[in-house]
Structure 1
């Protein structure tokens, strides 16, 4: 199975030649295919001597860039000196040089007939304002190609994730090799999916913290989180839609999972402002499935062609699958599936997990703390399994409203403290009380836990919340939010791939993440 031919480039932006040499070694060790040596970052630059050293000492092919301030670089000196240095780099054995579109004609004319065989000129254009229309981008590529460029490099700014679709269109249809990247967090997918759409190279930083361009991922993440080398034109695309989204560990989980079962897919962070616009823009069946995070779960319901009945009742979709046959979008809610199946496992006891005759929730009193999206999912999920539902919320009227919807009873938090109508009840916390950094808080005092046989907490950071610790001390079975997270991920993975989830691997990745 052939992977991508798209190269991974490491920008080298050190201020001394010595540090650049050391960074080039680091780039090679991380797996970069070439280094982009940014001469404009050097505090002192002696062209002849320094270029010889940099070319000789580089373990990888070299691309030299001497970016002027008028194209977003650091160099603010004489233009003739700048272009002379780039010509000299070519003569001394550089593999590529990057020259700005504005001066490309003149520069390429000046090296006519002197170009070494394998040497290539990249002609580049940077747009720090936005991403132009497909027509304007196509026109720009044609004009850049007309300078005699071997490779055309366009960097734009993604004001919305849908802007990147225009970059992909240009890359796929161009007759000349194209580097098409979009800056900013909304442009991250351009740096990974260029491997699918035939981009010449992508770039990544040496360290997670040091970024030469906004939204640029680290090389280790490009290669090891997103499995860049495995991406091909036929690779299916998945991702987690949210705002904010960079904190999500889902790409690590799903990409490890895809790799372990040999599934040809890649899963991305998708910073989305408007989910309807996103789904409309990326409508090809290659964009095969999405996990939906905050704040888009309610809006996602309206975007789907068909919605699972429980997700419809909850009024929230956290998983969208695009049918390969007709491209129709099917929405479901795996949040409730993950938590309810984890609670059922807890009630059955680990020795009895395979005995699935009927749900151990049937007929039980199931108390949900919190009447927001998570509370709603738990209430509908437990109701579906035959439980009797009680909703407790800080604001009683919200508890009443949800209780009426699911056909249950409502309590205020104050009443919950002395609520002991029967033994063997289940308590589920769907509030954020006890979450990092407020780990000393709990939604209910310890003495109130005595009538429950199981306590579940949707909070997963920390794994053992104060609520769960106090329940365990009271000899109550506890189920952590990590179980819910893993359970809903199993379900989504199987919906996305049609294959069984690699459960042990998921558990291991989750434990490491948390």
Structure 2
């Protein structure tokens, strides 16, 4: 689905200039970028970023995310404005959008799909306090919302919770796992090994616990070589 680009660099900057500079740096190592539109300081910066990414259309996998504050992001505008940002990003070359389940469930699924057009959709859940107790139910809730992929990001406070999170997506190629953990082997490496389609990496700043720098994931851990046969 993402070809060989299983490491996605997260671009989270307040200005378009800084975001584009971070993107250029990341593109030396990966061809998949998540653009955190909720970090941009103004509508002018948002428009400038869209102009800047247009030359990348079709050459790079671009994921547009405009995360609402209640889901761990910075966007405080209306849902209509949030969706409008994603639509504009899709028109500027983003082939994927990531939308939190809380927002998706407040919208009509068919209308949302029609509004977003041909863009592919990741429906995500974020828990910065704990690992949800009923992960199977959560996964099915996300899957039933009509996206192309689902993402579960959760704080794993101990090894048992971490294993439960991995098991929730065992042998399911449609589930991106983002364990927020910093104990032992970096959790996102193990999630990729278990089949998660993507692992998210930082370029200039981490937007969630457990994210490692792109260079570290590739140069030190050689993350793109990991699969279920990899010995740890």
TM-score (norm 1): 0.41
Q: Which residue of 2 aligns with 1:222?
A: 217
- Aligned residue for 1:131, secondary structure, equals coil
1:56 aligns with 2:54: yes
The 5 A counterparts of 1:78-97 are 78-97=78-97
Question: Is the CA contact 1:35–1:62 (under 8 Å) kept in the aligned structure 2?
Answer: yes
The 5 A counterparts of 1:25-40 are 25-29=24-28, 31-40=29-38
Question: Is the CA contact 1:164–1:189 (under 8 Å) kept in the aligned structure 2?
Answer: no
Cα displacement (A) at 1:54: 4.0
Q: Structure 1's 188 and 110: CA in aligned 2 closer, same or farther, altered over 3 A?
A: farther
Cα displacement (A) at 1:48: 7.8
Q: Which residue of 2 aligns with 1:99?
A: 99
Question: Is the CA contact 1:39–1:65 (under 8 Å) kept in the aligned structure 2?
Answer: yes
Q: Distance in 1 between matches of 2:161 and 2:5?
A: 21
Q: Which residue of 2 aligns with 1:159?
A: 157
Q: Distance in 2 between matches of 1:221 and 1:65?
A: 24
Q: Which residue of 2 aligns with 1:231?
A: 226
Q: Which residue of 2 aligns with 1:191?
A: 188
Question: Is the CA contact 1:51–1:89 (under 8 Å) kept in the aligned structure 2?
Answer: no
Q: Structure 1's 187 and 132: CA in aligned 2 closer, same or farther, altered over 3 A?
A: farther
Cα displacement (A) at 1:142: 0.7
Q: Structure 1's 47 and 148: CA in aligned 2 closer, same or farther, altered over 3 A?
A: farther
- Aligned residue for 1:143, secondary structure, equals helix
Q: Which residue of 1 aligns with 2:70?
A: 70
Cα displacement (A) at 1:70: 0.4
Question: Is the CA contact 2:37–2:46 (under 8 Å) kept in the aligned structure 1?
Answer: no
Per-residue CA deviations over 1:22-52 (Å, capped at 9, x if unaligned) read 11110111x1231111111111124883363
Q: Which residue of 2 aligns with 1:328?
A: none
The CA RMSD measured in Å over matched residues stands at: 2.3
Cα displacement (A) at 1:163: 1.6
Cα displacement (A) at 1:166: 1.3
Cα displacement (A) at 1:115: 5.6
Unaligned 5+ segments in structure 1 are: 238-514
Per-residue CA deviations over 1:370-404 (Å, capped at 9, x if unaligned) read xxxxxxxxxxxxxxxxxxxxxxxxxxxxxxxxxxx
Aligned positions, number: 227
Q: Distance in 2 between matches of 1:186 and 1:6?
A: 25
Q: Which residue of 1 aligns with 2:174?
A: 177
Cα displacement (A) at 1:81: 0.9
- Aligned residue for 2:170, secondary structure, equals helix
Cα displacement (A) at 1:89: 1.9
Cα displacement (A) at 1:91: 3.3
Cα displacement (A) at 1:191: 0.7
Question: Is the CA contact 2:7–2:200 (under 8 Å) kept in the aligned structure 1?
Answer: yes
Unaligned 5+ segments in structure 2 are: none
Per-residue CA deviations over 1:284-313 (Å, capped at 9, x if unaligned) read xxxxxxxxxxxxxxxxxxxxxxxxxxxxxx
Q: Which runs of 4+ in 1 moved over 6 A?
A: none
Q: Distance in 1 between matches of 2:98 and 2:15?
A: 20
Q: Which residue of 2 aligns with 1:110?
A: 111
Q: Structure 1's 32 and 162: CA in aligned 2 closer, same or farther, altered over 3 A?
A: farther
Cα displacement (A) at 1:104: 1.5
Q: Distance in 2 between matches of 1:114 and 1:81?
A: 13
Q: Structure 1's 42 and 112: CA in aligned 2 closer, same or farther, altered over 3 A?
A: closer
The 5 A counterparts of 1:294-333 are none
Q: Which residue of 1 aligns with 2:123?
A: 123
Q: Distance in 1 between matches of 2:116 and 2:78?
A: 24
